[in-house]
Chains A and B, each alone.
Chain A
Amino acid sequence: MSKFKKRGGGSSSPGINTASLPDIVFMLLFFFMVATRMREVTLQVKVTKPGSSQAVKIAAEDRNKIISVYVGKPTKAQLYGSAPRMQLNDVIADVKDVGPFVLEEMNRLPEVDRKKAFVSIKADEEISTGIITDIKEALRDVDALKIQYGTRKTASLY
């Protein structure tokens, strides 16, 4: 017991040297700066993407060519109701807004990217396909024919 008694009474334990703490934190900071990218939108609809085994990864250089359409139940049901709605950029919108939205986003892209641009439909797995069909029809109306169903990557089920 006497082993653990403080020697020479009153002297406090030496503090941990924190001189390298900034270095460690900066290292973490740089890791996150490199490995992540900015959030584009704050989702106002609940989206759990369906799983798919054949999904292809979108290359980092193609990310700016994605025009995203989010579909799902609004998180603020008292404002937007509980029926599935779609979110374009930061607003909850209707099917009739999809065409103009896609054209506007296309125009915003640099000219070289426009042909490679595609619309990614990121929809919740619990909705029914009716609204998706409406979106696809709206896209055909404005001749935006390259689409992608946003999914998660999973192992093959069958």
Chain B
Amino acid sequence: MARSRSRKPLPEINSGSMADIAFLLLIFFLVTTTMDQEFGLPRELPRKIEEQTPPPPVKERNVLLVYVNRNNDLLVNNEYGDIKSLKERVKTFVANRKNRTDWPEKDAPEEFGSDGHTFVFQKSKGIVALQNDRLTSYKTYIEVQDVLTQAFNELRNELAKEKYGKTFEELSQLSSKGQTDDIQEEATIKMQAVQKAIPMAISEAEPIKSK
């Protein structure tokens, strides 16, 4: 066998066009694929209810009405509002640390969390109702949504820092990227407790019809 090979050497395959083939594939992938990542603001729509069913009673003091009109101006509880101060307004309103009587009520002290990671907290009944006109620009609408989300996220961060010594963001990172399963599980419990204590109470009311 060895003798016969040495007599007749195999011709080498010409690999000169290999680069061309690879380039072709490369260009195909460059054209047909994308690299962009998907980001989004998650929301839960209210369930459709029968027309006759009256909406659940909500006390007026518990609702902060944010209305964005067709000129993208803000009305916060029937006063002119400003998007720059909206975040602080929502935070102070929902937290109601001074226990003002015209701001949201609080539930009786309740225990949140489980497995030894519990804390006692008075859950606020505050709701932010976002109402828009049909002609409001989408950009402004998302900006307001963003500011509202930011307000609730900061409240959650503050509570988590106070009760667990870590911000909500850190907890949510640990719950998915923690080094051991135990760390992940503990962070998830803490995260869920904070989430339950401060729900993302943003209600998207139906818009006012433009004439």
Contact = CB atoms under 8 A, between A and B. Distances in A.
B143 A50 contact: yes
Interface stretch (B2-10, B45-53, B93-101, B104-112): B45-53
Interface in B94-153: 132-139, 141-143, 145-147, 149-150, 153
A128 B29 CA distance: 36
Contacts of A128: 134-138
Interface string B42-62: 111111100000000000000
Interface in B142-200: 142-143, 145-147, 149-150, 153
B78 interface: no
Taking residues whose C-beta sits less than 8 angstroms from the other chain, chain A's interface range is 35 or more
* Dominant secondary structure of chain A at its interface with chain B: mixed
Interface in A1-51: 18-19, 21-22, 25-26, 28-29, 32-33, 35-39, 50-51
A7 B141 CA distance: 74
B40 interface: yes
Interface string A99-112: 00000000000000
A103 B125 CA distance: 35
Given A36-B34, A125-B142, A55 B41 contact: yes
Contacts of B138: 50, 123-129, 132
Nearest to B135: A128
A151 interface: yes
A87 to B, nearest CB: 16
Nearest to A124: B138
B13 interface: no
A18 to B, nearest CB: 7
Nearest to B172: A56
A63 B210 CA distance: 37
Contacts of B143: 50, 52, 157
Most A CB contacts (10 A, CB to CB) among B19, B40, B134, B137 go to B40
B48 A143 contact: yes
A148 interface: yes
Most B CB contacts (10 A, CB to CB) among A36, A123, A149 go to A149
B197 to A, nearest CB: 19
A141 interface: yes
Interface in A120-158: 120, 123-130, 132-133, 136-137, 139-141, 143, 145-153, 156-158
Interface of A: 18-19, 21-22, 25-26, 28-29, 32-33, 35-39, 50-58, 63, 66, 118, 120, 123-130, 132-133, 136-137, 139-141, 143, 145-153, 156-158
27 contacts: A18-B19, A22-B21, A32-B33, A38-B34, A50-B143, A53-B150, A54-B153, A56-B40, A57-B37, A57-B38, A120-B40, A125-B137, A127-B138, A128-B134, A128-B136, A129-B141, A130-B207, A132-B141, A137-B206, A146-B42, A147-B44, A148-B40, A150-B39, A151-B39, A151-B142, A153-B39, A158-B86
